[in-house]
Structure 1
Amino acid sequence: MTQMNQLEAWLAREREQAARFDAGAGPGVATPARFAHLSGLEIMERMLAGELPYAPIARTLDFLLLEVERGRALFQGTPGPAHLNPMGTIHGGWYATLLDSALGCAVHTMLPAGRAYTTAELGMNLVRAIGAKAPRVRAEGKVVHCGRQLATAEARLYGPDGTLYAHATTTCLVFDLPQASGGRADAAAR
């Protein structure tokens, strides 16, 4: 597939998913009562279907979740003028947020109901500046290991022509969600 055909396919997939998000719950935060009984993969699948809200940061930084499967998450982003640093290049924080999202969501797909995660460590290498030749980039996260207390994952940020712009690794802490019966999660749901 040529780079132009690849970009067209990426844009078509983006429009399809954006329409699903726009017709669904939109950006926001779901209450624990809405997801406590779901596995991480089920949560991510319902988010993709528009049944659960997606993270508001995605709208702020112009990226969206495209695909999930067990141990994998794929995001697509549009680096633009709002993401520039004072030197006129895409801010490293934009790369990091997109990669962290792919890494964390990949880990999330591995968790059973009642379990959650948080990023404990994020390591990132920027290997090339994103320029005009990459109007879209993708961050693909894949789980390396998911245990009871720790999970690790790796991700790559690349353009439609396969150019690698950054890669990252994470260590996530995995923990039990507070119980909904009389606990903090129950109070937060009210």
Structure 2
Amino acid sequence: MEIEKSPAGWASQQSDAIQRARDSGGSPGLARMDQLAGKSGRAILEAMMSGELPYPPMNETMNMTLLEVGDGRAVFQGIPLLQHYNPLGTVHGGWFATLLDSALGCAVQTTLPIGRSYTTAELSINIVRPASQRTGPLRAVATVLHRGGQMATAEARVEDEKGRLYAHATTTCFVFKAQAA
């Protein structure tokens, strides 16, 4: 599912994506195993985006949304708020880490067949520009570099609407058989 190119800007795209999911019954929560059964990793993410499955509650806390998925690709967007600040008056590194880990993990998830899952084994982040609530939307675009039977690697960049780089990251994920409920 690709995001539509909109002249309204990134903030509007994020708001529209959230509203589409809510209009279809989407809400924060945890999917039950029976809801996930028979779905590939990508199908699970698409069901969350469409409102068929609940989306992670953390998305509301971090003010971020999954906007797009493709084969080996995921796009998350977040808008930093005052509640995401560190004591020095800029967005906390953990906010960047969450945005990047989410995009990276979901990119890996798009490659998983039915019955497979993953977890982050390693995450390496470089924050190259500070962000604040005045920064506006920041988008993490992640792509899978390698997916084997047990390990996957991916990379991502966080940029603003003008294409300025704020952070970049790589991950290694452990891929395993999903456990039954």
Normalising by structure 1, we get a TM-score of 0.88
1:33 offset after TM fit, Å?
A: 1.1
1:133 offset after TM fit, Å?
A: 5.2
1:18 offset after TM fit, Å?
A: 1.1
1:74 aligns with 2:72: no
Distance 1:107 1:51 in 2: 21
What's 1:164 paired with? 165
Give the number of the structure whose alpha-carbon radius of gyration is greater: 1
Distance 1:17 1:42 in 2: 17
Which deviates more from structure 2 when the two are superposed, residues 38-47 or residues 12-21?
A: 12-21
Cα deviation 1:147-166 (Å, max 9, x = unaligned):
11000000001100000000
**Kindly tell me: are residues 114 and 26 of structure 1, through their superposed partners in 2, closer, same or farther at Cα, counting changes over 3 Å?**
same
Distance 1:7 1:155 in 2: 24
Identity, in percent, stands at: 52
Counterpart secondary structure, 1:8: coil
1:47 aligns with 2:25: no
Cα deviation 1:100-144 (Å, max 9, x = unaligned):
000000000000000000000000000111145521100111100
Contact 1:134–1:160, Cα closer than 8 Å, also in 2: no
What's 1:188 paired with? none
1:10 offset after TM fit, Å?
A: 1.2
Distance 1:132 1:7 in 2: 22
In structure 1, runs of 5+ residues without a counterpart are 1-5, 186-190
Distance 2:55 2:156 in 1: 20
Contact 1:121–1:172, Cα closer than 8 Å, also in 2: yes
1:7 offset after TM fit, Å?
A: 7.8
- Structure with the higher fraction of residues in helix conformation: 1
What's 2:10 paired with? 10
Counterpart secondary structure, 1:101: helix
1:32 offset after TM fit, Å?
A: 1.1
1:20 offset after TM fit, Å?
A: 1.5
Distance 2:146 2:28 in 1: 30
What's 1:152 paired with? 153
Counterpart secondary structure, 1:130: coil
1:25 offset after TM fit, Å?
A: 2.5
Normalising by structure 2, we get a TM-score of 0.93
What's 1:65 paired with? 66
Distance 1:58 1:67 in 2: 15
* Structure 2 counterparts to residues 76-155 of structure 1, below 5 A: 76-131=77-132, 134-155=135-156
What's 1:174 paired with? 175
Q: CA RMSD in A?
A: 1.6
Runs of 4+ residues deviating >3 angstroms: none
1:13 offset after TM fit, Å?
A: 1.5
- In structure 2, give the amino acid aligned to 1:78: I
